[in-house]
């Protein structure tokens, strides 16, 4: 991106420009600006003598290096981010006075960080886990952070249990294993002994926990928040992000293989899409409930283990966010960004969800150790785009030079400024909810149903999704060593579905659950990924070509590209191939550098007599087949598919004529995965 584009961007981009530095072509200096004559040898007493204390250049360089790392996030350490913009479809003045949700002519800069939860900063990305989906809106009224996940409910109901949950989920303390995985004893022991986790565990064992891409997952604010309008009237709200490309997942075997072959799979996918101009898009959705209707549901709307079924409370799509710019520097932006659910603007307020209330403490607190003090709001990525003034002063790494004599309120020496702003002129006033109660430590009666919505989720799954859940439970519990914990989990999930719990009990040699099946028969079709948007756009096809390339292949790839499908050629050697019709194909990958698991589909053209080549090609195809991926074959590739006995299977497309093949293959790619296949 040219410097010009960077400067001409939105208000956040313009602000960031002041901090960008380009070292290329410049003279090497110390941090004091001193030009350095030499940077390879430390200052020594004699050619073979000891290094001298006097060597300020060495000391400065080494000291800085020694302190390059900061503590990783206690959760969500592994993440990747991008800049974007939010545009509003229609004014929401009826519900909220938030400026950025009122004025459709405004474009609000955003910064989004996606993450896994459990793994360390360098861990693999396609692990089974919830994904963080944290958005910072740089509004003209201050920063608004929507710090959500790709799962709409949470494991616990009260923030006081968060340290326990995270201790159980993270690698076990005595041997720091396993990394970035919930398949171990302490996590499942926590689950069985904290049964409010049932609903989120169902999501975590479902395909939602192994997304195909950050671009193809939903985001949820999870908690019930409040929107407050100009007249002070409030509505309860849940926030959603709906990916324009639909919600799609990997299969577990594929996800595990990608973890080894490309641990950066998700960030690479996001980075490359933005570089290619295939900007990820998400629509902002709101579910709104009038305050009067607070008690009209069979669950408590303050309970973060509950979702509002979309069929009961429709999601109103109110705007779109487009991620259109990669970061310049991962540490400065992605690592130093500090989110906080308590960063709100007038018109957005909280509910009494006890999980949310605790989060309102934790996020600023964690930045103090992670970012080293109370001035992290001054870091370029965290600065609001509107002015900010108060009497807070000093502290580690203070950048602002506050002028003048006065740093207190109230004062007369500075005419009592900086001064509060009345509500009518945009000052933030907390929603005046009437609260009346005794101080107690207990769970509300209305928070005690842990299983109905877990069963609702189960009932909403299609057959293949149910099978994936059974497999996931069997895998995870199969890794648990304690027989007692295994049995407790079987008994617990017998309350959700006898079919589910019996299947994994058999797989792990536990006693199947006793008792009655759940009486919940309700389902919510919106929860099944089979009902999501299907699109061929941005899908990556691995194209296997030999040393001789038949005519038409370049044309076929061009036609696929017109539907947004990207073909990348794989062969035994890199280089260019010239097709029979004179067109040229660039080989981007070899059988050594690529693997079927990093593609959405495989297309075999053939063009080699070599037995090793054919063996490699057939391995690609068979693996893609086992992962239910679309497979195409033309030319000699058709024969290879026949020999592998794949022809005629769902999602396997072969053909001679270019047009039919392109159309059928594009349709097969849109389907994402062909579950009705015999594997
Ligand atoms: Fe949290 C980070 C999302 C419950 C305490 N959380 C963090 C991030 C996301 C979430 C997306 C990463 C932000 C980033 O990319 O920098 N957290 C959630 C959701 C929750 C949730 C959706 C439940 C609805 N979190 C939660 C609780 C607590 C925390 C109950 C503690 C009381 N979360 C933190 C934290 C983190 C964090 C320790 C680690 C790094 C950070 O905040 O900045 O404060």
3-state per-residue secondary structure call for 448-500: CCCCHHHHHHHHHCCHHHHHHHHHHHHHHHHHCCCHHHHHHHHHHHHCCCHHH
Check if the beta carbon of residue 606 is closer than 8 Å to that of residue 639. yes
Cβ 162 under 6 angstroms from ligand 1:
yes
Nearest CA to ligand 1 atom 35: 363
What are 81's strand-pairing partners?
Answer: 113
State in Å: Cα 116 to ligand 1 middle.
Answer: 11
Q: What is the mean pLDDT of residues 498-512?
A: 98
Nearest CA to ligand 1 atom 27: 359
- The torsion defined by the Cα of 603, 606, 610 and 616, in degrees rounded to 10, comes to 10
Cα distances (Å, whole numbers) of residue 171 to 194, 481, 509: 19, 15, 25
Nearest CA to ligand 1 atom 23: 154
d(CA 73, CA 189): 24
Q: Token pair of 641, please?
A: 């598919």
Check if the beta carbon of residue 136 is closer than 8 Å to that of residue 337. yes
Task: Supply the mean pLDDT for the chain.
Answer: 96
pTM over 0.95: yes
Same domain, 490 and 584: no
State in Å: Cα 188 to ligand 1 middle.
Answer: 21
Q: Which of 333, 359, 366 to mutate to test the pocket of ligand 1 (most atoms within 8 A of CB)?
A: 359
d(CA 541, CA 567): 5
Same domain, 574 and 654: yes
* Domain endpoint, select from 471, 495, 530: 530
Nearest CA to ligand 1 atom 18: 148
Q: Is the pLDDT of residue 135 over 60?
A: yes
CATH number for the domain that contains residue 492: 1.20.1370.20
- The torsion defined by the Cα of 399, 402, 407 and 411, in degrees rounded to 10, comes to -150
Give the tens place of pLDDT for each residue, 331-344.
Answer: 999 999 999 999 99
Give the tens place of pLDDT for each residue, 115-134.
Answer: 999 999 999 999 999 999 99
Q: CA angle, 222 as apex, 116 and 363 as ends, to 5°?
A: 65
> Is position 197 within any domain?
yes
Residue 89 among known ligand-binding residues: no
Residue 7 banded pLDDT, cuts 50, 70, 90: very low
> Is position 372 within any domain?
yes
Same domain, 524 and 550: no
Asked if the ipTM is above 0.90, the reply is yes
Cα distances (Å, whole numbers) of residue 266 to 258, 259, 273, 577, 626: 10, 10, 11, 30, 22
* Residues in contact with 205: Cβ distance below 8 Å, sequence separation at least 6, in sequence order: 128, 469, 472, 473, 476
CATH number for the domain that contains residue 630: 3.40.50.880
pLDDT of residue 481: 98
State in Å: Cα 601 to ligand 1 middle.
Answer: 35
CATH number for the domain that contains residue 244: 2.40.180.10
pLDDT of residue 223: 98
Cβ 341 under 6 angstroms from ligand 1:
no
CA atoms within 13 A on the CB side of 238: 26
Q: Is the pLDDT of residue 4 over 70?
A: no
Cβ 76 under 6 angstroms from ligand 1:
yes
Cβ 494 under 6 angstroms from ligand 1:
no
Contacts 24+ apart (CB under 8 A), 440-443: 443/157, 443/158
Give the tens place of pLDDT for each residue, 402-428.
Answer: 999 999 999 999 999 999 999 999 999
Q: Which of 135, 362, 376 to mutate to test the pocket of ligand 1 (most atoms within 8 A of CB)?
A: 362
Same domain, 484 and 564: no
Question: Which 3 state secondary structure label does DSSP give 184?
Answer: coil
Q: What is the mean pLDDT of residues 480-485?
A: 98
Q: Is the pLDDT of residue 513 over 60?
A: yes
Closest CA to 83 of 148, 152, 5: 5
Q: What is the mean pLDDT of residues 532-537?
A: 97
> Is position 324 within any domain?
yes
Same domain, 150 and 280: yes
Q: Which of 71, 72, 73, 116 to mutate to test the pocket of ligand 1 (most atoms within 8 A of CB)?
A: 73
Residue 73 among known ligand-binding residues: yes
Closest CA to 426 of 59, 142, 636: 142
Residue 438 among known ligand-binding residues: no
Structural domain total, the chain: 3
What radius of gyration do the chain's Cα atoms show? 28
Same domain, 323 and 466: no
pLDDT of residue 678: 75
Give the tens place of pLDDT for each residue, 249-278.
Answer: 999 999 999 999 999 999 999 999 999 999
Q: Report the atom number in ligand 1 closest to the C-alpha of 221.
A: 22
> Is position 48 within any domain?
no
> Is position 643 within any domain?
yes
State in Å: Cα 366 to ligand 1 middle.
Answer: 10
Residue 603 among known ligand-binding residues: no
Q: Token pair of 36, please?
A: 């350095």
Residue 2 banded pLDDT, cuts 50, 70, 90: very low
Residue 8 banded pLDDT, cuts 50, 70, 90: low
Cβ 339 under 6 angstroms from ligand 1:
yes
Q: Is the pLDDT of residue 6 over 60?
A: no
Give the tens place of pLDDT for each residue, 90-116.
Answer: 999 999 999 999 999 999 999 999 999
State in Å: Cα 127 to ligand 1 middle.
Answer: 18
Q: Is the pLDDT of residue 156 over 50?
A: yes
Nearest CA to ligand 1 atom 7: 76
> Is position 152 within any domain?
yes
Helix (H), strand (E), coil (C) string for 226-246? EEECCCCCEEEEEEEEEECCC
Q: Is the pLDDT of residue 5 over 80?
A: no
Residue 657 banded pLDDT, cuts 50, 70, 90: confident
Q: How large a percentage of the chain has pLDDT more than 70?
A: 99
Cβ 358 under 6 angstroms from ligand 1:
yes
Same domain, 355 and 304: yes
d(CA 100, CA 121): 33
DSSP letter at 301 equals: T
> Pairing state of beta strands 601-606 and 540-545?
parallel
Question: Which 3 state secondary structure label does DSSP give 432?
Answer: coil
Give the domain range for residue 252: 79-382
Helix or strand holding residue 27 (H, E): none
Same domain, 339 and 378: yes
Check if the beta carbon of residue 418 is closer than 8 Å to that of residue 393. no
Helix or strand holding residue 114 (H, E): strand 107-116
pLDDT of residue 3: 46
Q: Report the atom number in ligand 1 closest to the C-alpha of 79.
A: 15
Question: Which 3 state secondary structure label does DSSP give 519?
Answer: coil
pLDDT of residue 375: 98
Same domain, 570 and 522: no
* Domain endpoint, select from 382, 415, 441: 382
Cα distances (Å, whole numbers) of residue 164 to 359, 484, 612: 15, 20, 53
Nearest CA to ligand 1 atom 29: 359
Give the tens place of pLDDT for each residue, 277-303.
Answer: 999 999 999 999 999 999 999 999 999
Same domain, 496 and 549: no
Cβ 147 under 6 angstroms from ligand 1:
yes
Q: Is the pLDDT of residue 393 over 50?
A: yes
d(CA 468, CA 462): 10
Q: How large a percentage of the chain has pLDDT more than 90?
A: 95
Q: CA angle, 134 as apex, 130 and 138 as ends, to 5°?
A: 175
State in Å: Cα 524 to ligand 1 middle.
Answer: 28
Summary count for the chain: helices (H), strands (E): 17, 17
Helix or strand holding residue 581 (H, E): none
* Domain endpoint, select from 499, 530, 561: 530
Catalytic residues: 76, 149
> Is position 20 within any domain?
no
Residue 370 among known ligand-binding residues: yes
Q: Is the pLDDT of residue 675 over 50?
A: yes
Same domain, 375 and 477: no
Closest CA to 196 of 171, 165, 222, 150: 165
Phi, psi of 623 (to 5 degrees): -65, -45
Q: Is the pLDDT of residue 16 over 80?
A: yes
Check if the beta carbon of residue 145 is closer than 8 Å to that of residue 339. yes
> Is position 432 within any domain?
no
d(CA 614, CA 618): 6
Same domain, 518 and 544: no
Check if the beta carbon of residue 465 is closer than 8 Å to that of residue 206. yes
State in Å: Cα 442 to ligand 1 middle.
Answer: 23
d(CA 386, CA 109): 12
State in Å: Cα 295 to ligand 1 middle.
Answer: 28
């Amino acid at each position: 991106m040219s410097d010009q584009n960077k400067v001409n961007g939105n208000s956040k981009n313009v602000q960031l420009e002041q901090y960008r530095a380009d070292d290329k072509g410049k003279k090497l200096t110390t941090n004091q600006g001193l030009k350095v004559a030499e940077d390879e040898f430390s200052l020594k007493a004699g050619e073979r003598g000891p290094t001298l204390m006097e060597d300020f250049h060495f000391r400065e360089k080494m000291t800085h290096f020694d302190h390059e790392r900061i503590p990783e996030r206690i959760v969500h350490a592994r993440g990747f981010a991008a800049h974007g913009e939010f545009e509003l479809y229609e004014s929401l003045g009826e519900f909220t006075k938030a400026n950025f949700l009122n004025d459709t002519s405004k474009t609000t800069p955003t910064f989004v960080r996606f993450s896994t939860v459990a793994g360390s900063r360098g861990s693999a990305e396609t692990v089974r886990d919830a994904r963080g989906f944290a958005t910072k809106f740089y509004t003209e009224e201050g920063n608004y952070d929507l710090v959500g996940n790709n799962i709409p409910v949470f494991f616990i109901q009260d923030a006081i249990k968060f340290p326990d949950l995270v201790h159980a989920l993270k690698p076990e303390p005595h041997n720091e294993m396993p990394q970035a995985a919930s398949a171990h004893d302490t996590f499942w022991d926590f689950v069985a002994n904290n049964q409010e986790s049932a609903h989120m565990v169902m999501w975590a064992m479902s395909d939602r926990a192994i997304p195909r891409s950050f671009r193809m997952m939903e985001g949820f604010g999870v908690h019930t928040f409040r929107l407050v309008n100009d007249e002070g009237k409030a509505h309860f709200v849940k926030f959603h992000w709906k990916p324009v490309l639909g919600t799609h997942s990997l299969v577990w075997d594929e996800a595990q293989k990608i973890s080894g072959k490309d641990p950066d799979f998700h960030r690479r996918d996001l980075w490359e899409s933005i570089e290619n101009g295939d900007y990820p898009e998400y629509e902002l959705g709101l579910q709104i409930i009038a305050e009067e209707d607070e008690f009209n549901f069979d669950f408590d709307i303050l309970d973060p283990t509950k979702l509002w079924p979309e069929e009961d409370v429709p999601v109103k799509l109110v705007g779109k966010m487009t991620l259109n710019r990669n970061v310049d520097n991962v540490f400065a932006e992605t690592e130093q960004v500090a989110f906080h659910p308590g960063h709100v603007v007038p018109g957005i307020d909280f509910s009494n969800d006890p999980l949310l209330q605790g989060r309102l403490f934790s996020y600023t607190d964690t930045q103090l150790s992670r970012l080293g003090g109370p001035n992290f709001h001054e870091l370029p990525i965290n600065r609001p785009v509107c002015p900010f003034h108060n009497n807070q002063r000093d502290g580690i790494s203070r950048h602002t030079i506050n002028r003048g004599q006065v740093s207190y309120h109230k004062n007369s020496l500075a005419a009592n400024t900086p001064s509060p702003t009345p509500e009518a002129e945009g000052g933030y006033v907390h929603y005046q909810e009437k609260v009346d109660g005794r101080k107690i430590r207990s769970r509300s009666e209305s928070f005690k149903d842990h299983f109905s919505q877990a069963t609702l989720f189960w009932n909403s799954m299609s057959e293949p999704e149910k099978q994936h859940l059974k497999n996931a439970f069997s895998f995870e519990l199969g890794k648990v060593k304690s027989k007692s914990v295994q049995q407790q989990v079987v008994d617990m999930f017998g309350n959700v579905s006898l079919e589910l719990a019996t299947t994994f009990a058999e797989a792990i040699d536990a006693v199947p659950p006793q008792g009655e099946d759940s009486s919940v028969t309700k389902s919510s079709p919106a929860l099944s990924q089979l009902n999501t948007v299907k699109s061929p756009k941005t899908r990556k096809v691995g194209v296997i070509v030999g040393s001789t390339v038949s005519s038409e292949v370049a044309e076929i790839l061009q036609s696929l590209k017109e539907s947004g499908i990207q073909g990348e050629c794989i062969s035994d050697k890199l280089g260019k191939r010239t097709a029979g019709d004179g067109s040229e194909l660039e080989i981007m990958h070899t059988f050594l550098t690529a693997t079927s698991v990093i593609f959405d589909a495989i297309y075999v053209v053939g063009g080699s007599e070599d037995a090793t080549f054919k063996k490699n090609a057939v391995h690609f195809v068979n693996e893609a087949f086992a992962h239910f991926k679309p497979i195409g074959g033309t030319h000699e590739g058709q024969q290879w598919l026949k020999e592998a006995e794949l022809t005629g299977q769902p999602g396997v497309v072969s053909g001679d004529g270019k047009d039919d093949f392109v159309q059928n293959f594009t349709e097969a790619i849109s389907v994402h995965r062909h579950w009705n296949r015999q594997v």
